[in-house]
Every structure is written in C-alpha cells, then in structure tokens.
C-alpha cells in the first residue's frame, strides 16, 4: 500500500483513528485525570489498565495532544491540534454513493453529480478539500492518483478495503472501543460486534459477508507491497516455503513470481477460511501456474509445542514466513507460534517476520497501529528489541532487519 493513490486513501481513512484518539483523550482520559496525566494515579484503583493506558498516551503524544517528559510522565500539550474525521467520511461517501465507480471511467459535469440522489454538498466539499476529487471548470473527476485504486476492474482496487474500514475499523477504533481497551487492556470485538465475536478471525462464522469483503479487500490492498517485499528477500537455497497465516496467498504469490526455483509453497491457515481464500487466489492468479497449496491447521493446537498440527512432524522448509501475524497476539501467544513455526524450519533455513517495527521510544508513526492491535486482537506492535526477546524465547535469533519501501520491514531470523 505504498503507491500515491493507496497512501492518499490511507491518509483520509486514518482521520477516523486520529479523531477517535483525540475524542477519547479529551472526553475520557483528561476528565478522569483532572488535568494531571499520571499513569500511576489513573491506574491505582484499577479503573484503567496500565500498559494499555501508556500505549494510548504514546499515541496521543505522537498526535501532539500530549507530551511525554524525560521522566516518563505525560502532560497536556500546549496548543494541541484539532482533529476531524471529515476526510474519512468524504471517502466513505464517495464509495457508498457510487460516485467513485462512475468517476473511475472519466469526468462528469458538476450539474449531473449535484442532481444525483446521493449527493451531499458537505461531503462533496470535504472530498475536494482532501484532494479525493479534482475540479476542472464545470467538470469533476477522481484525483488522478486514485483512478487505479478506485477502479473496480483494477487488480489493486481498494474499494472493498475502504468499505470495510468504515464497517469495521471506524466502529472498533472509536471512542467507545478505545475507552474500553484502556480500561481492560483487551480486544473490543465482543463489546462492539457481540459476545459471539471474540476476535476478528471469527467473522467468517458470524458475519460471513463482512469477512469475505474484508479478506478480498486486504488481498488487493497488499498486492503491490507484497511484490516489493518479495523483491527484497534473498531466495538463494530456497526450494520450499511455509507461509503461516497466509490467507488468500498475496504474499505467497509474490514470492512464487519472484523466483523460478521455488518448487513448493504451502499456506498454513484455518480450515473455515479455506474456500474463500482459494476463490480469491484463483480470481487474481490470472493464468500463471504457481506451486502453491493450502494446509489447514491452528497454530495454537496440537500435542507438540514445537510442531504445527496438520503438518508432518518431520516436514521442514527452507523458508518460513509470518506476515503481520505476530503483532496480532500477546507475548506469550507469540512465543507459542514462533516455537511451533521453528519446528518446521530446516537447520539452515530462515524464518521471516513481516511486521511494522516501532521506534525504540515507542512514539513514532506505528503508535496508531499499536492501538489498532490493542482494540482488534489484544496484540501489539513491537520494537526490534521486543522481537529479539521473543525470538530468543522461541529458540531463534535475529540475523538482520531489512528496511523496505513499504509499511513493513523484514525481520530475518535463524535457529539460535
């Protein structure tokens, strides 16, 4: 998601998160703090979860709402910026009204647009202000860099991603979701979507329509980035690959297309999602023949703590990958996954983690993603030091970190 159009959509959609943090900071945290942002005081009576509150305040500091002192204490920022969600709402309107689809094939006269049943002047103005729409005389068009990502026939179409950002993200990453998360330190799926949905991976059973759109949207949104990531990986000596949690195979496809020597790529994922994952893969695989197959299993199940259930115990791979998987889970759960993954790594093989890495001070751009993990899965984003510690507990060691032109870095590891 690193081309100009994709980044513009992300910037607009992310105003929902920025606004939600600002609202929660002003109406919940500051109200409880009486103007003094002392984590110890706020958590003393158990009303707030210390780790979750600290992570929230780091995000508030990143947004300029708070300041973190050298002592580790926080204070209210002077002249803090104001945050609105107009750009996100304009983006959602653009998709829901059908205007994005119409404009993906060319410009339209403003009179035609304004006469349509779904036209909203305020949303239209916000879309122009966010540079989602471009005006030229009396005609209106999509911003040129959005045509590819908002054209339904494009392989990198992000319309489904945007719609699910509205249906899912804007609801769980909300003042209600954030307030709940900093109080109990847990995922807010049950509070927002019902007790039967304890995590997003259960959507396939409870809300299959949302889950289907979510997975297809994520596949298309990640195609370009996965291709860039695959280009950064050294495939020397790599004949077979295990991609854990690989879903519909966007990353596996990118790997296969980047190396003719790879003979076998297995995607390890939950059985319930298999029919959907394979259907999405076939839709975007075109006519290419790739050595990709799926194995169903659950990385928290099985009799052995050093093997994945569903795979032969003696099966090893030259390359094992986990893309945006470890950040979904707590430290304890992450170590469990890594131990089982390491059990299928050839003695000279490499295990790759594709993750967004937090700055050591935990105040950089990944703080919002960290809150996303908190409210969605109860997981977290981590520094490279955090990852090194997890790897050590799992019998692995860090070899190197590869910076990439995407939002993720490649953490390359080997047996310890």
The chain-wide mean pLDDT, for the chain, equals 93
CB within 8 Å of 374: residues ≥ 6 apart: 52, 55, 181, 185, 187, 380
Both 294 and 373 in one domain: the answer is: yes
| Beta strands, E only, 201-299 | 240-244, 264-269, 292-296
Domain boundary among the residues 136, 157, 178 is at: 157
Q: Measured between alpha carbons, how far is 160 from 154 in angstroms, rounded to an integer?
A: 12
- The CATH number covering residue 92 comes to 1.10.10
What average pLDDT does this structure show over 223-251? 96
Note the pLDDT of residue 208. 75
Question: pLDDT at residue 284 above 90?
Answer: no
Report which of residues 266 and 164 the model is more confident about. Answer: 266
Q: Is residue 3 part of a domain?
A: no
Q: Output the domain CATH number for residue 227.
A: 3.40.50.150
238 and 385 in one domain?
yes
pTM: 0.94
User: Does residue 28 or residue 413 have the better pLDDT?
Assistant: 413
- Number of C-beta neighbours around residue 285 at 10 A: 16
Residue-wise pLDDT for 124-166, tens only, equals 999 999 999 999 999 999 999 999 999 999 989 999 999 989 9
**DSSP SS3 for 288:** coil
Beta bridge partners of 135: 140
Residues 150 and 272 occupy one common structural domain: no
Query: Do both 335 and 229 map to the same domain?
Result: yes
Does residue 305 lie within any of the structural domains?
yes
Do the domain assignments include residue 61?
no
Same domain for 317 and 226: yes
Structural domain including 402 reads: 221-415
pLDDT of residue 370: 98
Per-residue confidence (pLDDT) for residue 35, from 0 to 100: 65
Q: Roughly what angle, to the nearest 10 degrees, separates helices 4-13 and 86-96?
A: 110
| Structural domains of the chain, count | 2
| Residue-level pLDDT at 202 | 66
What per-residue confidence (pLDDT) applies to 286? 63
- Of the candidates 133, 157, 181, which is a domain's last residue? 157
pLDDT tens string 316-371:
999 999 999 999 999 999 999 999 999 999 999 999 999 999 999 999 999 999 99
Q: DSSP class of residue 27?
A: I
Give the confidence band of 393 by pLDDT, cuts at 50, 70, 90. Answer: very high
């Amino acid at each position: 998601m690193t081309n100009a159009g994709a980044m513009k959509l992300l910037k607009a959609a992310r105003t929902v998160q920025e606004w939600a943090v600002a609202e929660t900071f002003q109406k919940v945290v500051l109200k409880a703090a009486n103007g003094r942002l002392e984590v110890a005081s706020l958590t003393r009576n158990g009303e707030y979860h210390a780790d979750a509150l600290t992570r929230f305040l780091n995000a508030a500091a990143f947004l300029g709402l708070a300041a973190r002192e050298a002592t580790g204490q926080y204070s209210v920022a002077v002249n803090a910026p104001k945050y609105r969600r107009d750009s996100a709402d304009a983006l959602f309107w653009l998709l829901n009204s059908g205007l994005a689809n119409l404009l993906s094939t060319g410009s339209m006269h403003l009179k035609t647009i304004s006469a349509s049943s779904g036209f909203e002047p305020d949303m239209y103005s916000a879309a122009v202000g966010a540079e989602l729409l471009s005006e030229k005389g009396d005609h209106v068009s999509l911003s040129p860099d959005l045509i590819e990502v908002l054209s339904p026939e494009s392989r990198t179409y992000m319309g489904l991603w945007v719609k699910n950002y509205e249906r899912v993200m804007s609801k769980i990453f909300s003042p209600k979701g954030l307030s709940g998360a900093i109080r109990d330190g847990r995922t807010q799926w049950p509070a927002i979507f019902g007790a039967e949905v304890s995590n997003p991976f259960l959507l396939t059973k409870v809300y299959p329509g949302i889950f289907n759109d979510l997975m297809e949207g994520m596949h298309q949104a990640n195609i370009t980035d996965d291709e860039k990531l695959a280009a950064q990986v050294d495939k020397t000596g790599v004949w077979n690959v295990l991609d854990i949690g690989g879903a519909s195979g966007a990353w596996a496809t990118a790997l296969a297309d980047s190396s003719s020597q790879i003979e076998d790529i297995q995607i390890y994922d939950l059985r319930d999602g298999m029919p959907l994952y394979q259907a999405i893969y076939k839709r975007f695989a075109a006519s290419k023949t790739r050595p990709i197959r799926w194995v169903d299993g659950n990385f928290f199940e099985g009799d052995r703590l050093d093997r994945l259930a569903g795979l032969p115990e003696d099966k090893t791979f030259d390359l094992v990958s986990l893309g945006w998987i470890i950040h979904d889970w707590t430290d304890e759960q992450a170590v469990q996954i890594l131990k089982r993954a390491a059990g299928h790594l050839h003695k000279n093989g490499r295990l790759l983690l594709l993750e967004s890495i937090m700055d050591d001070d935990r105040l950089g751009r990944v703080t919002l993603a960290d809150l996303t993990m908190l409210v969605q899965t109860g997981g977290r984003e981590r520094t490279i030091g955090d990852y090194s510690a997890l790897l050590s507990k799992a019998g692995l060691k860090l070899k190197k970190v590869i910076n990439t032109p995407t939002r993720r870095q490649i953490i390359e590891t080997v047996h310890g």
